[in-house]
Amino acid sequence: MSDSPFIVEVTRENFQQVMEASQRVPILMDFWASWCEPCKALLPILEDLANEFQGRFYLAKVNTEEQQEVAAQFGIRSVPAVKLFLDGQEVDEFTGALPESAVRAFLEKNLPRPSDDLVNQARQALRSGDSDAALGALQQAKQIDPTNHRIDITLAQTLAAMGDAEGAKSALDGLPEEVQQEPEVLALRGHLEFESRASDMPEPAALEQRLAENPDDSEARYQLAIHKVNSQDYEAALDLLLELMRRDRSYQDDAARKTMIKIFDLLGDDPMAARYRSRMFNLLH
């Protein structure tokens, strides 16, 4: 048993109370077993973080040997397994003994922060095209919560929308290494890279004219695809790059395939990415 007010042992008797508590405070539920060596490595990390975060989440420990009904309710097949609950719903999970830095990144990504309302205000202002209001909200957020990486990501997005590509890259470069791999960060870096590439290219109309006159103009096809990405016409861009792969696979050291992969990063889990990834692989074989 732990003496910490932020750590609880889950039993069949108190399980419902723990789940109800997740309506008020995030619950990190750790499924473990005494025979599991990775569990023994992970548990002290979770306990230390629960105490460090001082109530931003509660750690609920489930001994799967003693609480088989609870483990079965969540379909636990291997341990350690860690699930995060917010408002009574499971919002994220991981398995295996992650290092402290990875667990911390998992928590920071998912736990509510005191600055979240201001970050959401900034994002809403950005969607409305009011970059100045977005910057104002982010400045307030930074003052009350300087370690919230979502502020810096939103700042980079705002600067990019204002045309300050260098400022956006600088904001992204300041993020911790584990945050650099988040889909939102990778997508923004991709957009900045495509915008940079397109800056020295001919206008789309001129490229379309060149292709109409010479369908084998690989450079025009490739550059037009870059413009299509910047206008968020991803399907047209991918079609152009697939055609370039068919016609001139060696163009700029397989640039068509490499660029398609970058677009897939921009699309994330969009079904379009899976569809075109399959078509790309079919061309490779």
Residues 117-147 pLDDT 10s: 999 999 999 999 999 999 999 999 999 999 8
For position 1, what pLDDT does the model report? 44
Task: Round to whole Å and give the CA distance between 145 and 113.
Answer: 8
Cα–Cα separations (whole angstroms), residue 198 to 123, 165, 204, 245: 26, 13, 10, 20
- Say if residue 30's pLDDT is above 90: yes
Can you tell me the distance from the alpha carbon of 71 to that of 89, in angstroms, rounded to the nearest whole number? 16
Q: What's the pLDDT tens digit per position in 204-256?
A: 999 999 999 999 999 999 999 999 999 999 999 999 999 999 999 999 999 99
38 catalytic residue (yes or no): no
* Predicted confidence (pLDDT) per residue in 137-191, tens digit: 999 999 999 988 899 999 999 999 999 999 999 999 999 887 888 888 988 998 9
- Helix ranges restricted to H, the chain: 15-21, 37-52, 68-73, 100-110, 116-127, 131-144, 149-161, 165-173, 177-180, 183-198, 204-213, 218-230, 234-247, 255-267, 271-284
Higher per-residue confidence, 86 vs 1: 86
Give the span between the Cα atoms of 156 and 126, in whole angstroms. 11
pLDDT over 50 (residue 90): yes
Choice among 27, 28, 36, 50 that is catalytic: 36
Residue 2 pLDDT level (bands cut at 50, 70, 90): low
Instruction: Return all residues near 188 (Cβ < 8 A) that are at least 6 apart.
Output: 153, 156, 157, 160, 168, 172
pLDDT in tens, 37-60: 999 999 999 999 999 999 999 999
Mean pLDDT of the chain: 93
**Token duo for residue 235:** 């399907």
What mean pLDDT comes out for the span 9-20? 94
Catalytic residue among 8, 29, 33, 39: 39
b/e for 260-278, b at 16 or more Cβ within 10 A?
beebbebbeeeeebeebbe
% the chain with pLDDT above 90:
84
Domains of the chain: 7-110 (3.40.30.10), 116-182 (1.25.40.10), 201-284 (1.25.40.10)
Decide: helix, strand or coil at residue 2.
coil
**Residue 36 known to be catalytic:** yes
